[in-house]
Amino acid sequence: MAPSAPMELLDCVAFLLVDGERFLVERRREDKVVDPGAVAIPGGHLEPGESPLEALHRELHEELGVTTANPQFICTLLNPSEEFRKLEYYAIHEWTGEIENNEAEALLWLSLDNFDGLDLAVDRVALAEYIRVIGNR
């Protein structure tokens, strides 16, 4: 059996909107190619030539209709799913605008201790890193 070609690494951002002791997640639409129906931390792909912070601001506005001035870096994780993704996770504690659901099946608020509410292992690791690095300040 011939070895398979390596998967292309896709750069992505994900944003953990935190409001007190809860955080925002999305239930992905069933027609999504990657992780359909999964409850996940929202985010998206970087466009060509875009920095992770530029992508973060664009995706926040496109998906949720909000802006932020002070995102906090949490961690970078690799996720080999249908796509091989490098995810840069950011925490958002303050935002401007009313949260809108522009892309997901649904938006939900979960308690910061609800790791089981997340369907993707990579998101559970990012949430643990948020609590370890930022949440205990």
126, pLDDT greater than 90: yes
83, pLDDT greater than 60: yes
Q: Which sign does the torsion angle of CA 94, 24, 74, 47 carry?
A: negative
- Which range, 28-42, 78-92, 112-126, has the best average confidence (pLDDT)? 112-126
Fold type of domain 9-135 = Nucleoside Triphosphate Pyrophosphohydrolase (3.90.79)
For the chain, the domains span 9-135
Q: How many CA atoms does the CB half-sphere of 106 hold within 13 Å?
A: 7
Res. 2 pLDDT band, cuts 50 70 90: very low
The pLDDT value given to residue 6: 56
The pLDDT value given to residue 1: 47
